[in-house]
Structure 1
């Protein structure tokens, strides 16, 4: 008996949610399809009823996660009189550094995605473009001045990537966060 469309959609969503957290925590290459499906409580063969390949899954996760991050940052900005400072404080934070599984997909997966399949790189580029556009609107920029938003977005990501990379030296990692927060808010 075939499964209902609703059940298939729920199963697909479960795979996406589990994969999103696992990939951000362990890296794309650090998570196999069988391990992912086991974590989701499903069989390995069931993966291909939902996705044509692991690369297609990664591409969807990246675009989706970038949208979620933009929503989160937009909400922080709306609740503040200084929207850019709120975005910086929200993004460049020890909690973001310490929890890649729920943080920005670019900070967690950007380097791997850059070496990934064309479908993954294209998804990353689309997601970054949309995120920068949204950030530009939050910053009060018109569409013609996307460079400022791209510069801020790149700086936010770089701060978290570097702070995570220096995690074995907590003093340096915390210093990176503190310095970047101050400098990015000063611009």
Structure 2
């Protein structure tokens, strides 16, 4: 069967999109090529006409996920008057906690990324630096650039751990408390540098 022009590119994008969500939902280790291809509505045999290896797919899928999260955070910030608080509340929300497949890559996969290829770790590192810079830009301008960067880094590390803990516990009330306590701590930390 002969496919029309652009079919292979569209299929490639669909595989990357499905993998991007599935990796964040199930983890890298639990996402095999056969399962990823089946989720994309394709057979395992077609995988190698799109990617030279599973690592190549993981790299592309994580890059797509990082871009998606960057756009999500940017959208949240742009559509709210208090950009910093809106970003923190969106990140530490029950919606984000309950939908890892569309959420933060660090919150879903940081421990696995730490054991992955140098290329994936380099891409992830660049993304974290971009997120630190973006969050620092939302902190009070009265603070020094170094203070804003330091607080932004602490907040990103803290919120990543908070979302992981909120997802891991089996008590919804405790999970909600983790999120709410995290929001309060982040807002307090941000206020402390503007004094």
How does the TM-score come out when normalised to structure 1?
A: 0.89
| In 1: Cα distance, 2:2 partner to 2:140 partner | 51
2:152 aligned to 125, 149, 152, which one? Answer: 149
1:176 aligned to 165, 175, 178, which one? Answer: 178
Displacement of 1:57 in angstroms is 1.7
**How many corresponding residue pairs?**
186
Displacement of 1:94 in angstroms is 0.8
Aligned pairs for 1:1-187 within 5 A = 6-139=6-139, 146-166=149-169, 168-187=170-189
Superposed CA deviations along residues 132-157 of structure 1, whole A, max 9, x for unmatched, are 22223333668755333222222221
Superposed CA deviations along residues 154-173 of structure 1, whole A, max 9, x for unmatched, are 2221110111111x122211
| In 2: Cα distance, 1:103 partner to 1:13 partner | 19
Moved more, 129-138 or 67-76: 129-138
Structure 2 gap segments, 5+ residues each: 190-195
CA-atom RMSD in angstroms: 2.1
How does the TM-score come out when normalised to structure 2?
A: 0.86
Max Rg structure: 2
Which SS does the other structure have where 1:42 is aligned? coil
Task: Label 1:93 to 1:50 Cα distance change in 2 as closer, same or farther (>3 A).
Answer: same
Task: Label 1:5 to 1:137 Cα distance change in 2 as closer, same or farther (>3 A).
Answer: farther
Displacement of 1:63 in angstroms is 2.4
Displacement over 6 Å in runs of 4+: 140-143
